[in-house]
Amino acid sequence: MATPIKEWSKLEVRAVVRFLFSKGTKPSEIHKQIAETYGEGAMSRSRVYQWFTWFGEGRTSLGDEPKSDRPKTSTNEENTTRVDELIRCDRRMKIREIALKLEIPKSTVHEIVHDTLGYRKVYARWVPKMLTEDHKLQRVEISQRLLQRCQQDNGDEDTTHIGLEPGGDFQANNNLFDNLITGDETWVHLNTPETKRDSMTWKHPSSPVTKKFKVQRSAAKVMATVFWDAKGVILLDIMPQGQCINAAQYCSTLNRLKEAIRRKRPGLLRRCVVLQHDNATPHSANLTQQWLQRYGWEILPHPAHSPDLAPSDFHLFGPLKRHLGGMAFETEDDLISSRRITIAPRIASGTSDSLAAPRTDLMEPSATRSFFPESWLWAQLQTSSANGTATIKTTIPDTITSWVVSAFATNQMSGLGIAPTQAHLTVFKPFFVSLNLPYSVTRGEHLALQANVFNYLQQDVTVRVTLAKSSEFFNIFIDANKQESWRQEEVYQDVMVAAGEAKSVYFPIIPSELGRINLEVKAQSTVAADAVRRQLLVEAEGIPKEYNVPVLIDLTDGRKGFSETVNLTLPANTVQGSELVRVSVVGDLMGPTLAGLDSLLHMPTGCGEQTMASLAPNVYVLDYLKSANQLTLDIEKKALDFMESGYQRELTYKHPDDSFSAFGEKDDSGSMWLTAFVARVFHQAKSHIFVDETVITSAIDWMISRQKKKGSFPEPGRVITKGMQGEASGGLGLTCFVYISLLENQDLYAAKGTSQKKFEKAQKRALKYLETQVATTTDVYILAMASYAFQLAKSSQAQNVLDRLEALAVKEGNMRYWHKPEAPKAKTGSWRAPHGVTAVDTEMSSYVLLAYTVKADIVGGKGIMQWLARQRNPNGGFSSTQDTVVALNAMSEFAKLAYSNNLNVRITAQLDSAPVYTFDIQQSNSLILQTRETKTVPSKVKIDATGAGLVLADVAVFFNIETEVEDLTFDLTVTMIEETMNWLVVETCTRWLGEGKSSAMAVQEIGIPSGFVVDPETITALPILKRIETQNKKIVLYFDEIGKTNVCLTFRAQRTGLVAKSQPTAVRVYDYYEPGNQVTQFYQSKILRESSMCEVCVECENCV
């Protein structure tokens, strides 16, 4: 609306009337335009009509024409001045009183007041209270101080300092309005009359005039307390009908405000909240003042009876209640559920089937971003041009980030060259959306999916953020009473995103499917759009379990057919819906290992021995595939990458004296056993990757320097695995293990003079000691290791040891293996997975197979190979590290010996009434692991095969159980020490219940509730706690041992994700070398279990 012209003359206004008359404008429209342009006092409606008539009669003069009988003198300048002076002295004086006082006609006074001077009468506005002089002075003083505060924050150096002393009312802040929050209360009536403006309707000339009846405002009302800042409303708190606000109530509201600030205004609580509220009794009470002082909030001074300094009445409450006109509610619940108390809609939301018309002006994303690798571009290139350049063509990931690219090159003449600088590649979009997801959630948990919209455009945009409909999850809808309902449909929210800023939008969901579910979110505006698709892992509740039944299909030696039935069972406490059956076949006995090189074991990898256990299988696979002429470039690259990273990592566990230990220099001494293991595997690896030979020889020299005179090798460090000690054999097993390492490294000492003599002397002493001790031992584990060592050394006792072992072999058909008897253990349940063996059994049988391999005795080793092939886990490994390393070493060496390229087999697998799975294996695809999966667990699987060759089938079952069914070798208790909605303090205590004074190296895996993280710094420090690792949703703790007395520790978990209805979380303790010795317990916070979506996501719709 245009600003009225303040300076004008009567002739000017009359000229405008004449102009509009000439244009054919009606008198009513002329008066309206005059009032808009010059103000209401420029010319009255009747005067406009009069001039309109005169112009119609032909008048052309704009001036006043005096009466013919006598000159007009009463409206002269003198009378005009006198009238103006009287009105200024008494603005309530009437026209009649002025006429009497000046002795001039009332009509003349009326003309002077209205037409000449432009006065008009207005009513006084009601105010709550008349201000006293003190009130006025206080208002001026406080207003000046507030003005000064604003000027100081804006850096105005010319500010005049008024009454501000050190330690005064105001605290130092960089920007007042960034920290300022205004709060006030307002009554909301259950029956609010409709305003006259709201009742306006369009009237047709033939329609009667509508009537509006007077309605009294109801006495029933509720009080709403609103806190807001420059960015919008922070908290809207409605007090139930019948309650009144007091200091205690107000402090409770402030607590809710503090939580809302933490969620909606991150960082403000750490700076300084500046609160502006009036001087009402609950606001100024001692209890309130104590609360404000405790949290260090600053209160802006507020003069008495000055609502204009608390602008809620003028700028907020009107829009807040503008939708209530003409509405009547029975109770406050009806009022709240109507959602009529609302702010002017900066954020709107809805679903795809809402009554609102669909937006047609929004841009569509050009593509949906879905490629988000954590690392990228590890490429090995061959330069071809003369200047040594190479070109890479690749697809850039969809991640909005900066990539740092480094490069190095090798040359046979020049050696290694490293690029002196790094290249930087920035992937950027000026407008994009991203999803903030936890690593995983457990089925049954509720998640607030956070979509962040980033606007780096030069303008503010209104964005529609849409979550696509999916059958894999339900959307949670929250009404005004915070009641939840679930539906599967597309939902959206509209949000204003300022230029250069980001906004978060929350979509509450409940995942309904297990596995990885797709979440697709689209952000659209009229100028830009983006879409992203991410996957969220949904895990079943309970404890993950698995078992598998390998089936060795032998169609060699003229056998024409094969048939075997595998029976499958599940425990009674299996979690419904968690089951999965996988049938796989491969045409090579090393195929399962090759397919699972990066996941042979479901175990942590945070110590020196685990690193070696990950490195060694790659060596054995490469050796075997090269000998069988089946090595491909892809397989070789994959294995070499693992080996190189493993070699570099293992060097971090090296001591200054050249020995190695499980946790490096955190251990007091190097480990004889691990040093021998490193020397052995490094020697095997050096034919594939670069290995510094001095690392190996220095390690061997360290071992030799500690050899006893009789030839044994003691363990100066911790005994990591008790099997190495060999059951009261005085370290005989360790000596045997070290001797095997020396035998496999003897080529490094050829023609080395003094070093060679020391090395050969150490070997002879060790062999003599072993031959003497082994002759009398009855320990099956020692005999198995010695059988391999004696075959390598060509000892005269080699065959005798093998004969003794054959007498102790356990036979199952054509298969043979060795078993170490154990004391009976108390069982906690009746169900056991089929084909379960101990790690020691696998390790012993593998050493015997290595002995037969050195002898080149295929017949003697075949039955052992068949047994080992049936003991592998679904990933191609075994139960622990040592049995996996030794077994894969033995199997790869024997497979090289017995390899045959005559392979052509067809396999069928019938799962109850399910369709038949058919697999064809030839030499060309013998290394490819072929799989089929089903979520229905059959009672049996019938496997039939025809053709020629030796292949391996495997039936693996994956499931979760509600409670653990294992041998009680550990005692474990988990106690909730403290719990809130946003953090937990938990204590775990465990002790050893098995034989002996303590366990071997033990591992504790602590699960973390969904949406929480644990800071390792909060975990209790213990001398036997050697290492702490963080892996996705669990913390892994390594202990030297767990003894008979409780080992207790505490940790603190902090919320980072918006997950409600938290499910139980597992804590597991197990013996690293015998994972069957374990126990699992669950813990769960009652607060988290019963939490609602609004309690964890206060910014979700209708949660404020």
**What is the average pLDDT across 192-212?**
62
Q: Are residues 955 and 1058 both part of a single domain?
A: no
- Coil, helix or strand for 797? coil
Q: What is the CATH number of the domain that holds 563?
A: 2.60.120.1540
pLDDT band at 822 (very low <50, low <70, confident <90, very high): low
Is residue 665's pLDDT more than 70? yes
Q: State the sign of the Cα–Cα–Cα–Cα dihedral 674, 680, 686, 687.
A: negative
Q: What is the pLDDT of residue 818?
A: 92
Calpha distance 461→493 (Å, rounded): 14
Is residue 382's pLDDT more than 80? no
**What is the average pLDDT across 116-137?**
74
CA angle 775, 781, 783 (to 5 degrees): 30
C-beta separation of 1025 from 980 below 8 A: no
Is residue 704, in this structure, part of any structural domain at all?
Answer: yes
Q: What are phi and psi of 1094, to 5 degrees?
A: -70, -25
Residue range 490-519, pLDDT digits in tens: 888 888 888 888 999 999 999 999 889 999
Q: What is the pLDDT of residue 944?
A: 93
Q: Are strands 1034-1039 and 491-497 parallel, antiparallel or unpaired?
A: unpaired
Tokens matching residue 790: 């004696």
Is residue 645's pLDDT more than 60? yes
User: Where is pLDDT greater, at 602 or 20?
Assistant: 20
Q: Are residues 567 and 633 both part of a single domain?
A: no
* Neighbouring residues of 1025: CB distance < 8 A, sequence distance ≥ 6: 1019, 1037, 1038, 1039, 1049
Domain that holds residue 661: 588-822+836-902
**What is the average pLDDT across 392-405?**
80
What is the secondary structure of 282-313 as a DSSP string? HHHSHHHHHHHHHTT-EE----TT-GGGSTHH
Calpha distance 256→226 (Å, rounded): 12
What is the 8-class DSSP label of residue 900?
A: -
Directed axis angle between helix 95-102 and helix 77-89, to 10°? 130
Is residue 865, in this structure, part of any structural domain at all?
Answer: yes
Residue range 681-694, pLDDT digits in tens: 999 898 888 889 99
Q: Are residues 755 and 860 both part of a single domain?
A: yes
CA distance between the termini of the chain: 37
Q: State the sign of the Cα–Cα–Cα–Cα dihedral 12, 17, 21, 25.
A: positive
Is residue 405, in this structure, part of any structural domain at all?
Answer: no
Q: Are residues 325 and 444 both part of a single domain?
A: no
Q: What is the CATH number of the domain that holds 452?
A: 2.60.40.10
Q: Are residues 514 and 619 both part of a single domain?
A: no
**What is the average pLDDT across 355-379?**
71
Q: Are residues 438 and 526 both part of a single domain?
A: yes
Is residue 434, in this structure, part of any structural domain at all?
Answer: yes
Calpha distance 622→635 (Å, rounded): 8
Q: What is the CATH number of the domain that holds 878?
A: 1.50.10.20
Is residue 789's pLDDT more than 90? yes
Calpha distance 805→212 (Å, rounded): 108
Is residue 567's pLDDT more than 80? yes
Is residue 616, in this structure, part of any structural domain at all?
Answer: yes
Q: What is the pLDDT of residue 120?
A: 79
* Neighbouring residues of 108: CB distance < 8 A, sequence distance ≥ 6: 74, 75, 79, 99
**What is the average pLDDT across 2-22?**
81
C-beta separation of 548 from 872 below 8 A: yes
Q: Which of 539, 562, 577 is the last residue of a domain?
A: 539
> Which one-letter amino acid corresponds to residue 1021?
A
Q: Are residues 578 and 595 both part of a single domain?
A: no
Q: Are residues 873 and 932 both part of a single domain?
A: no
Q: Are residues 634 and 668 both part of a single domain?
A: yes
pLDDT band at 213 (very low <50, low <70, confident <90, very high): low
Q: What is the pLDDT of residue 66?
A: 59
User: Where is pLDDT greater, at 662 or 155?
Assistant: 662
C-alpha separations of 553 from 561, 898, 904, 929, 952 in Å: 9, 15, 12, 15, 6
Question: By percentage, how much of the chain surpasses pLDDT 90?
Answer: 19
Q: Are residues 510 and 592 both part of a single domain?
A: no
Calpha distance 178→601 (Å, rounded): 53
Q: Are strands 491-497 and 461-467 parallel, antiparallel or unpaired?
A: antiparallel
Q: What is the pLDDT of residue 172?
A: 39
Indicate the average pLDDT of the chain: 81
Is residue 855, in this structure, part of any structural domain at all?
Answer: yes
Q: 380-412 in b/e burial notation, b at 16+ Cβ within 10 A?
A: eeeeeeeeeeeeeeeeebbebeebeeeeeeeee
**What is the average pLDDT across 876-905?**
82
Is residue 1006's pLDDT more than 60? yes
Q: Which of 868, 902, 936 is the last residue of a domain?
A: 902
Q: What is the CATH number of the domain that holds 1007?
A: 2.60.40.690
What residue spans of 295-451 are helical by DSSP H?
312-315, 317-321, 332-337
pLDDT band at 724 (very low <50, low <70, confident <90, very high): very low
Q: Residue 920: left if φ>0, alpha if ψ -120 to 50, beta else—which one?
A: beta
Q: Which of 295, 310, 344 is the last residue of a domain?
A: 344
Q: Are strands 983-992 and 1047-1055 parallel, antiparallel or unpaired?
A: antiparallel
pLDDT band at 767 (very low <50, low <70, confident <90, very high): very high
Q: Are residues 879 and 933 both part of a single domain?
A: no
Q: Are residues 874 and 988 both part of a single domain?
A: no
Is residue 133, in this structure, part of any structural domain at all?
Answer: no
| pTM of the predicted protein model | 0.59
Is residue 525's pLDDT more than 70? yes
Calpha distance 521→436 (Å, rounded): 12
Is residue 380, in this structure, part of any structural domain at all?
Answer: no
Our count of domains for the chain comes to 5
Name which of 1103, 1101, 1096 is nearest 346 in CA terms.
Answer: 1101
